[in-house]
Amino acid sequence: MDRTEICDKKFEELFGGKRMPSDTDPEFMDILQKFIFGQVSQIGKLDNKMRELITITVLSCIQALPQLKAHVGACLHVGLSPIEIRETIYQCAPFIGFPRTLNSISTMNEVFKANNISLPLEDTTTITEDDRFEKGSDIQNSIYGDEIAQRYKDLPSGMGENLAKFLTELNFGDFYTRGGMDIKTRELLVLAILTTLGQTGPFKSHVIGNLKLGNSLETQCAVIMQAMPYCGIPFAFGSFNVIKQVVEEMKK
């Protein structure tokens, strides 16, 4: 099949119908659709479910809410559960902040209501106030050790200690411990978040963390490639440069 045929097939798989030309900008829409669904969708071994989770992650980060609405619908169409979709968007909060995450949650819930999905969804919390630090620390240390605590220990007035504690409790305690999504998937989605935000600083640690969890470099590259049409090519280059660094260090 040529890329037009691939695009048409992929569009139907994701959205359950034929793609429609834009009334005002048919040329632009044709370029967009053929590139995303006719070319990028063929790179790597990601299935439709994982591609859509990456897509709604990036759209949440950039607050492209109309497009997020369409792709939450696509998530449901390809068989993702409402809880998997919710956990993907919740996972963005430590990285993009609560206000933008709330906007994305609101858009997600609009789609759920339109599909007669009862809200609130099942509670998947697995921690308590007493053990959120301990359980978060168990996950964090197994992947990253105490590098954050060591890096910021010299901040004045004990703020480095607070910073490290908040990271452990919020990111790894409140979110990574939740049911409905495994840690291996969460870490892949973090690559999409960091790529979209242009955060090449912490990206290397997460590449290594993904390798520890069994996510190959090929899979990680496919995640970046899937994010690229939505966040822009320069952001993808930033992440691929870090991947190259890791590859060169592994060779040595």
Phi (first) and psi of residue 27, to 5 degrees = -65, -45
**Mean pLDDT computed over 190-214:** 97
pLDDT of 211-252, one tens digit each? 999 999 999 999 999 999 999 999 999 999 999 999 999 998
The two structure tokens encoding residue 171: 């990111």
Q: Is 123 helix (H, G, I), strand (E, B) or coil?
A: coil
**What pLDDT was estimated at residue 243?**
97
Structural fold of domain 43-124+181-251: AhpD-like (1.20.1290)
Give me the chain's average pLDDT, please: 96
Where along the chain do the CATH 1.20.1290.10 domains lie?
43-124+181-251
Q: State the Cα–Cα distance between residues 71 and 212, nearest whole angstrom.
A: 30
Q: State the Cα–Cα distance between residues 218 and 237, nearest whole angstrom.
A: 15
The two structure tokens encoding residue 115: 């599909």
Query: Is 150's pLDDT higher than 90?
Result: no
Residue with tokens 């993702």: 80
Phi (first) and psi of residue 232, to 5 degrees = 110, 145
Q: What angle do CA 172, 56, 72 make, to 5 degrees?
A: 120
**Prior bond of 202 cis (ω within 30°):** no
